[in-house]
């Protein structure tokens, strides 16, 4: 039995060794060979391949930056193949533009900026965004350029030094017009846009021209000189032309595969919508006024609660909006000073001196409140005029009330007795007693009086009234 058991154990070991010798090389070979998994994954993921479409229309501001940055993050989390930014903008704020460009440059998903529909433009800030994108495209009948910082458009500022002429023989360009600060701003913008152009392999010389001379060109011209990569009629045409194009994404070359991509459009969420509303300079300005006046009304009527709550919420919301906008704090201080002066006029009437000064300070402060000339980022001039008119009408009402109060008879103190009516309590020719305002007074008269005769007080001396007959 022992010999039989040993023989069986030996046979089992032989079969195990045989199976290992047969299958281990096959397993090793299978591991070394290329796996067909990508084909299977592609087949599985094909229905879910998508391109994210984002619409950007109007001035570039904090709300636009928040929406675009959030959209790029969502595109990355959804493993999107491409983000299409459909752009139509007259320009925007520098800080917001740079935030968008940073997000594009660091995006793991390729970004195609598409100036569309026909008639759209990528002016000023839009030019920088177009240059920063992995793919730059335009629709027919669109234009790009005019990228000079708008705060220095319009010639040399007052007090700026005269710019020296350029060395045309040596090909050196003339320095930017204006003072040292303006040249600094232009040179910074030129270096920025040239860096973007060199990174994407686009026309850097024209980009500099767009900054220094506010040059603007059509889509056909932009394609011809290498400012953009292609001209497309619509998003479908854009995807067809992008297919097979190689782009650099985070330092690595990537060949685009846009066949059968599902285009999914993202809409701004409630946060972006709210940010877009409150960062409008006109809305932020109104919130500031409502907040200040609400707190003042609460101070006049302690315990009213509603004005204080509404005022505090509006004021804090306005301050949150202003910290994202290019605010001139001198303008902000002038607005507050104007409100304080108008309140002082109501509390201590100065016949217009304080009120007029308050209106002037408030109007000047409102005009210079937003320190930029970017289209769409200024407090509405009609609104400023309406508030100035309302303030003037209120001031006139206060002055009118003060004048009427000055002319109104005194209704308190001893002076209220002058002109008061009464009756004589006795017959007297010079000194006697009269009944006035429910009280008995000593009185003197120049005309004799009879008991019960109506009298009028003409003066007062100490505790003695000067009276005359009412019918005189």
Top-ranked range on mean pLDDT: pick from 89-93, 216-220, 260-264: 216-220
Q: Over the stretch 86-114, which tens digit does the pLDDT of each residue have?
A: 999 998 888 899 999 999 999 999 999 99
The 135-138 sheet, strands edge to edge:
230-231, 135-138, 111-115, 82-88, 50-57, 262-266
Going along the chain from its start, the domains and CATH numbers come out as: 43-268 (3.90.226.10), 272-407 (no CATH), 414-469 (2.40.50.140)
What confidence tier does 239 reach under pLDDT thresholds 50, 70, 90?
very high
Within 58-113, residue ranges assigned H as helices are 62-77, 94-105
Residue 171: pLDDT over 60: no
pLDDT of residue 350: 67
Residues designated as active site = 124, 184
CA-to-CA distance for 440 and 432, rounded, in angstroms?
A: 10
Confirm if 104 and 111 have CB atoms less than 8 A apart: yes
Q: Over the stretch 272-289, which tens digit does the pLDDT of each residue have?
A: 888 888 888 889 889 988
Q: Which of 16-20, 26-30, 375-379, 467-471 has the lowest mean pLDDT?
A: 26-30
The pTM score is 0.67
Q: Over the stretch 427-462, which tens digit does the pLDDT of each residue have?
A: 888 889 999 888 888 999 888 888 888 999 888 887
Q: Over the stretch 17-31, which tens digit does the pLDDT of each residue have?
A: 444 444 444 433 333
pLDDT of residue 411: 55
What confidence tier does 178 reach under pLDDT thresholds 50, 70, 90?
low
Q: Within the chain, how many helices (H) and strands (E) appear?
A: 15, 16
What confidence tier does 332 reach under pLDDT thresholds 50, 70, 90?
confident
């Amino acid at each position: 039995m022992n010999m039989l058991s040993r023989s069986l154990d030996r046979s089992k070991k032989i079969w195990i060794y045989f199976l290992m010798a047969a299958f281990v090389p096959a397993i090793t070979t299978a591991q070394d060979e290329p796996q067909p998994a990508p084909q299977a994954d592609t087949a599985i993921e094909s229905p879910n391949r998508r391109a994210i479409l984002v619409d950007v229309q109007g001035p570039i501001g904090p709300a636009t930056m928040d929406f675009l940055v959030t959209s790029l993050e969502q595109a990355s989390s959804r493993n999107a193949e491409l983000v299409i930014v459909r752009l139509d903008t007259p320009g925007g704020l520098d800080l917001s533009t740079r935030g968008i460009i940073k997000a594009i440059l660091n995006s793991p998903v390729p970004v195609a900026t598409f100036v569309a529909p026909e008639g759209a433009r990528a002016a000023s800030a839009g030019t920088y965004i177009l240059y920063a994108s992995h793919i730059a495209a335009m629709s027919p009948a669109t234009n790009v350029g005019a990228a000079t910082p708008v705060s220095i458009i319009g010639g040399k500022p007052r007090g700026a030094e005269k710019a020296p002429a350029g060395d045309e023989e040596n090909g050196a360009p003339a320095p930017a017009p204006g003072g040292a600060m303006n040249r600094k701003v232009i040179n910074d913008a030129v270096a920025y846009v040239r860096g973007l152009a060199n990174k994407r392999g686009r026309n850097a010389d024209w980009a500099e021209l767009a900054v220094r001379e506010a040059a603007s060109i059509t889509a056909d011209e932009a394609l011809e000189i290498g400012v953009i990569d292609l001209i497309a009629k619509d998003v479908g045409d854009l995807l067809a032309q992008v297919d097979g194009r190689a782009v650099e994404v985070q330092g690595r070359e990537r060949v685009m595969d846009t066949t059968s991509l599902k285009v999914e459009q993202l809409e701004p969420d409630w946060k972006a919508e709210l940010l877009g509303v409150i960062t409008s300079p006109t809305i932020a300005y109104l919130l500031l006024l409502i907040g200040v006046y609400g707190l003042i009304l609460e101070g006049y009527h302690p315990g009213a609660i509603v004005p204080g709550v509404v005022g505090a919420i509006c004021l804090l919301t306005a301050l949150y909006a202003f910290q994202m906008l290019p605010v001139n704090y001198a303008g902000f201080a002038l607005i507050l000073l104007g409100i304080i002066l108008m309140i002082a006029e109501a509390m201590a009437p100065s016949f217009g001196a304080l009120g007029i000064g308050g209106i002037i300070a408030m109007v000047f402060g409102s005009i210079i409140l937003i320190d930029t000339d970017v289209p769409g980022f200024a407090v509405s001039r009609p609104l400023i005029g309406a508030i100035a008119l309302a303030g003037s009408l209120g001031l006139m009402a206060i002055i009118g009330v003060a004048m009427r109060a000055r002319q109104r008879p005194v209704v308190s103190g001893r002076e209220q007795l002058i002109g008061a009516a009464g009756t004589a309590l006795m017959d007297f020719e010079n000194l006697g007693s009269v009944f006035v305002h429910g009280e008995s007074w000593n009185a003197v008269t120049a005309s004799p009086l009879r008991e019960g005769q109506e009298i009028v007080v003409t003066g007062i001396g100490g505790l003695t009234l000067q009276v005359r007959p009412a019918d005189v």
